[in-house]
Amino acid sequence: KKILILNGPNLNLLGVREKSIYGSQDFLSYFEELKKEFSAVELHYFQSNHEGALIDKIHEVGFSFDGIVFNAGAYTHTSVALGDAIAAVTTSVIEVHISNVHKREAFRHHSYLAQNCVGVICGFGLNSYRLGVQSFL
Ligand code: DQA
């Protein structure tokens, strides 16, 4: 199976940014662990701070991959265009968040993506991604 983990803005700073919320591990070292754990899966990773680059990636893989595990960061709460991109492709998308967004500010409670996703996983730290990948197997 081909699965893409897609990270949006500021998630390149995992391990550095707001460690009390997002933890101290950087994403690339975590991704190496995931690749070992899911060796039977073709796992891909892409991160961008740019909304359009995320949309382009969804279009690129969204008709051939088996799943996308997507943490859109703050774009989750702002981007109609990313929600539309998910609706436009045939690949199933799972929305993930490291933190429990429902425990946080009210502006993080709404997602423009969730209605077009198969499910939402949030609040399990980096484990949220692992659960997302597992749900496609
Ligand atoms: C996040 C939650 C978002 O509200 C925030 O803007 C992020 C990270 C998470 O993984 O917990 O950048 O998506």
Catalytic site residues? 22, 97
pLDDT at 77: 98
Asked if residue 73 has its Cβ within 6 Å of ligand 1, the reply is: yes
Distance 66 CA to ligand 1 centre (A): 24
ipTM: 0.99
Q: Using an 8 Å Cβ cutoff, are 41 and 23 in contact?
A: no
pLDDT at 55: 99
Domains of the chain: 2-134 (3.40.50.9100)
pTM summary value = 0.97
Asked if residue 5 belongs to a known ligand binding site, the reply is no
Please report the atom of ligand 1 found closest to the CA of residue 122: 11
Q: Using an 8 Å Cβ cutoff, are 102 and 77 in contact?
A: no
Asked if residue 108 belongs to a known ligand binding site, the reply is yes
pLDDT at 97: 98
Asked if residue 126 has its Cβ within 6 Å of ligand 1, the reply is: no
DSSP codes joined into one string, 79-96:
-HHHHHHHHHSSS-EEEE
What pairs with residue 132 in β-bridges? none
pLDDT at 137: 95
User: 90-123 pLDDT, tens per residue?
Assistant: 999 999 999 999 999 999 999 999 999 999 999 9
User: 34-76 pLDDT, tens per residue?
Assistant: 999 999 999 999 999 999 999 999 999 999 999 999 999 999 9
- Phi and psi dihedrals of 17, rounded to 5? -85, 135
Question: Please, which residues have CB within 8 angstroms of residue 25's CB and are 6 or more apart in sequence?
Answer: 14, 15, 126
Asked if residue 77 belongs to a known ligand binding site, the reply is yes
